[in-house]
Amino acid sequence: MSEILDYKKKTKKSAKLFLASSKIHVNGVSHNIRFFEPYPFIVKSSSGKNLQDVDDNKYTDYWMGHWSLILGHGPKQVKDSLKKQIEKSWMYGTVNEQTIKLSELITKAVPVAEKIRYATTGTEATMYAVRLARSVTGKKIIAKIDGGWHGYTSDLLKSVNWPFTESESGGIVNEEKIISIPFNDLEKSLVILNKISTDLAGIIIEPVLGGGGCIPATQEYLKGLEEFAHKNNSLIILDEIVTGFRFRFGCLYPTINLDPDIVTLGKIVGGGMPIGVLCGKKEIMKFADTSGNKKSERAYIGGGTFSANPMSMTSGFATLSELKKSKNMIYPKINSLGKFARDELGKIFGSKVIITGKGSLFMTHFVSEGITEITNSAQAAKCDTKSLYNYHFKMIAQDGIFFLPGKLGAISNVHTKEDIKKIITATDNFEQARTSK
Ligand X SMILES: Cc1ncc(COP(=O)(O)O)c(C=O)c1O
Size of the site for ligand X (CB under 6 A): 16
Instruction: Name residue 392's amino acid.
Output: H
Binding mask 192-211 for ligand X (x = CB under 6 A): --------------x---xx
Binding mask 18-57 for ligand X (x = CB under 6 A): ----------------------------------------
Exposure on the CB side of residue 110, measured as CA atoms within 13 A: 35
The closest residue (CB) to ligand X is 122
Q: Output 112 or 397, the one with its CB closest to ligand X.
A: 112
Segment lying near ligand X (by CB under 6 A), choices 104-112, 183-191, 237-245, 344-352: 237-245
Sequence-distant (≥ 6) Cβ neighbours of residue 399 within 8 angstroms: 422, 425, 426, 429
Q: Output 54 or 237, the one with its CB closest to ligand X.
A: 237
Sequence-distant (≥ 6) Cβ neighbours of residue 398 within 8 angstroms: 3, 6, 426
Burial of 24 (0-12, 13-18, 19+ CB in 10 A): exposed
Residue among 65, 151, 244, 260 that touches ligand X (CB under 6 A): 151
Site for ligand X in 362-421 (CB under 6 A): none
Sequence-distant (≥ 6) Cβ neighbours of residue 124 within 8 angstroms: 151, 153, 276, 304
Q: Output 33 or 192, the one with its CB closest to ligand X.
A: 33
CA dihedral 50, 264, 205, 175 (to 10 degrees): 110
Residue among 150, 158, 281, 415 that touches ligand X (CB under 6 A): 150
Nearest distance from C-beta of residue 169 to ligand X, angstroms: 15
Opening angle at CA 240, ends 313 and 319, nearest 5: 30
Q: Output 238 or 383, the one with its CB closest to ligand X.
A: 238
Inter-residue contact 308 to 99 (CB < 8 Å)? yes
Helix (H/G/I), strand (E/B), else coil: 81: helix
Q: Output 131 or 394, the one with its CB closest to ligand X.
A: 131
Q: Output 178 or 242, the one with its CB closest to ligand X.
A: 242
- H/E stretch holding 278 reads strand 276-280
Nearest distance from C-beta of residue 75 to ligand X, angstroms: 20
Nearest distance from C-beta of residue 324 to ligand X, angstroms: 23
Q: Among residues 180, 148, 155, 183, which one has the least CA distance to residue 169?
A: 155
Q: Output 121 or 412, the one with its CB closest to ligand X.
A: 121
Site membership for ligand X, residue 65 (CB under 6 A): no
Residue among 241, 263, 273, 308 that touches ligand X (CB under 6 A): 241
Nearest distance from C-beta of residue 330 to ligand X, angstroms: 21
Sign of CA dihedral 414, 417, 419, 424: positive
Q: Output 182 or 394, the one with its CB closest to ligand X.
A: 182
Site for ligand X in 255-294 (CB under 6 A): 266, 276
Residues listed for the chain: 437
Convert 47-73 to b/e letters by CB count within 10 Å (16 or more is b).
ebbbbbbbbebebbbbbbbbbbbbbbb
Site for ligand X in 110-149 (CB under 6 A): 121-123, 126, 149
Nearest distance from C-beta of residue 264 to ligand X, angstroms: 7
Segment lying near ligand X (by CB under 6 A), choices 21-29, 75-83, 239-247, 299-307: 239-247
Binding residues vs ligand X (CB under 6 A): 66, 121-123, 126, 149-151, 206, 210-211, 239, 241-242, 266, 276
